[in-house]
Structure 1
């Protein structure tokens, strides 16, 4: 936008810089439609009233712009054109400071005058009397006889005389309606060519540096030579400017053609999209029918299988019940005879019945009692592909079997550990293992994917502080790249990626007591899906959830738990698994209040006294792996759902003293810290 106004330029004050506040926007019924011509408002579509032009050359009524600005927040610094969405900067005065294209203003004046004078019998009232309230003695407005184009006013005889006496209006040209109707005065001469800054000055010069017309005062003040290149605003200058405009207009014709082609192509693509959507909708309806048909079929098959399963198991139970009742009747009689004959029978009677009674009682011994149905197989739902096109729809089919047992084959073994404990499998395939050697060496060992020792991190109290004993227990690699670990002392310790010690943190009990205040031991450690640390205090039996952030940790919550949280794992359902190999020897699934949701009981083949669960880890599908390091040593698999948990089986016995467990990112391998070695197992569904 320019400083002055003529048929070659806009007039506006200097626009201000957008300060980041909300910009104003104008909404019309159809912002993509051009106005009928240059003299109609792009918003209300009526003849422009007190017009203002935007930087995109579209013009609007000042009142329309002000009304739309009222819907925006205060302090707007720009507005969006409703026709083309181009942003126009606003000065501190808002839309009122916007200028108008002089040519558009003249065209609008010509249209307005032409419309007003078209009917010779129509009376045109003085607009000056209307504004000032200067009416005739009868109280009615006076009829206008002249028109001042500079002031945009219709004037009566009285106002015409007064207008000619004003010093500021002495250069204004007043024309009677008869002169205008006669055609003696070309409307093209009715151009406002006075300077907006200097009302009594005519625009006679042109600043080629700023591309604006100017008066003589502007030429020596705002556009002073030699900083600004000046020229007279004559026919030659106008012809030169017009030539440049026409050349650009001719060049833009190719752009207009291309835009029209793109619009036509866009319309064509929209029609194709509509047709494709309709076709896809038909396909989706067909898929819906197939889906419902398959679902109904699967439902009926599932009901049949369930009824068949129920009938089969019920028959077994009934047969078993009949046999048990028969055995009970036989046992009662045998016991009665045994008691009576030994108390009341003669030697001959005892000897005679001895063989039958002893045979019957031995045959009905506890060891020989058979229970055909010790427990019911679980009824679960396994997802299957329907094979339907376009949409990958899944149906649920009923399967009467336990989830598959995952067999594990050892594919790798490495490390030279003394007392390996926790392990973390990074996303890059490397391993971080907690290890301590007696009372002198305390390290995290970092191994490559191939099992090569890459580095060690000193966790001893001399390097990290915090107590005489400082052996490491569990370790995780946080998404921020820092390593966090727990151990014998009461702290969670943080290390940089290169292994340098950063800082240590205390856990806080639900009673707001710091772990370093009571010399607690923290051991269990895991990450939840949000990157929070889940830390187990085994001395006071509570779990803390902590959020690390730039060498600072925020305590989110803490909850007391029923067992010592020696090892911890997070489940995909945002619950927590804790295991204790020590006094309770148990594994629990708890929520974030500490409530026990499920207990992972030891397998039937493992007595409670030989159940020493250590490391635990959970897959995204709900498979939980538990290490048992005493008695029947091995890795055992459980299935945890939102509603239940059950034991699946033993995955492998190819371990001697398993502690920490960790799944690979793709969950196709399991890493086990087997005390002195790290063993990698490949997981296969049996």
Structure 2
């Protein structure tokens, strides 16, 4: 197939370095203050001391700014790339664009929470000095702590502080009193966090965007948002913080019960052992069958040899007998010629002539070669072709098991005018391209989208979202939000049934496929529950067919499953050998009912008949296809494929 259009559906966000909101000077060479028996939460993993200007990585691990800088510099010198591994979890972290050598760590976000914790712990230690006096290089013991400024104050500075115009209303506690109050209580008191953009206190929360705000943030960036509430209300009523914490605890417990981080190592060792056993089994099976037939052939050879020897004896024996008779007759005639009379010679002559004639027929033409018998082994045609074509038993591949790592787009659909609409989960947006590959419009979302499908004849689309939500967009001219529908589950794949006007969705977390109304309510559920046997392991993409069947790609089972609208399995496609699937992703059906499967791990697209029988591979590496994720066939017979790197490729299809 010829490649028609290429489009890059990803974009990189520009991340500006965060400003430092900690009271430590960035140019200060002072060492972090050591503290005996300090809380491990305030201890840097690298230097094993109390944090000094803590910086947080995307993996949520924090380190001293100077420690992190040293680690990044060493890592960059070793790998020569623009990334480094977290010292604790080894997750790859990219260096921010524009960060200069010696300033890499400063580009990461300041951990104001840990900075405040460290300062409070420091204030509660014996011999704490006044922070204000220290800035002018004087050493005076601190007697009080300002909860608003997070500064330790001596008696003199306290008087000035409480009478200043901007600090008169600050809450100050004596350090002795602080030491009697639990650290948890102190951390929660006067817990005012400034906005990193406007340096005003964060007091609001945008429910639509799920972001904490200051007053200026609301006025500038969130003026069109409808659901802005106070921080206290957000924690009690309008957010799913408790749900997230519950999921984290459940997932951590599941991982630990399954063997923790040691499980992947055991999985690898098990897979190596299984591969070794399979290789040995196949080779031994082949060798055993060959040796078995070798024994049969040798026994047959023994009996056939006896038969052949008998045949040869039967053919040679007359010649031997005739030759002996001729020799005897010849000896007789030579003796008579030497010693016999003429009469005796003539008497023997007639008898010898008759004997010669009879022996001549038995011996045959003396110029011909002696009679022979051969025993040949004729190779079977199948074995002969096997030997000629045999060059290997199979191939070994490393399955990293991270089928979805790096996937930046989960879904693609197309309108009646062949416009292409892609969900870009990495950048949290929906992008619309013309059929020629030009970016026409995009919608920035507050959270990560998953899959997308068109709904009806008006080219409206429905999109599954992180956070148990399905949103609907109009796409005719400019893309606009129509409505939101809350759902009972977190859904991933989505498809629209034209005949029944409902949505079919899949849930990786719950291992189910649901049929839902357009308002998000569940009509039927397949795959789990008391009355259902487990059908799915990781149901990912969905496609509704014209005959009301449902096609599901199951990544966990490396299979394609087709069920009817009542949940009965119509067919299960899970081939072995060269047609085997490896982490199948997108599925779609053309106007004739043919089924196309994005074979993600094998870098190809498979074509199946409507009954699930393999037809052929229609695209592969030779077509510059790499890690196909989402797939769609348009009404004008164009095959649209989104790769894991976000590249959209369009192929002609007939």
Relative to the length of structure 1, the TM-score reads: 0.35
TM-score by length of 2: 0.36
Structure number with greater CO (CA < 8 Å, separation at least 6) is 2
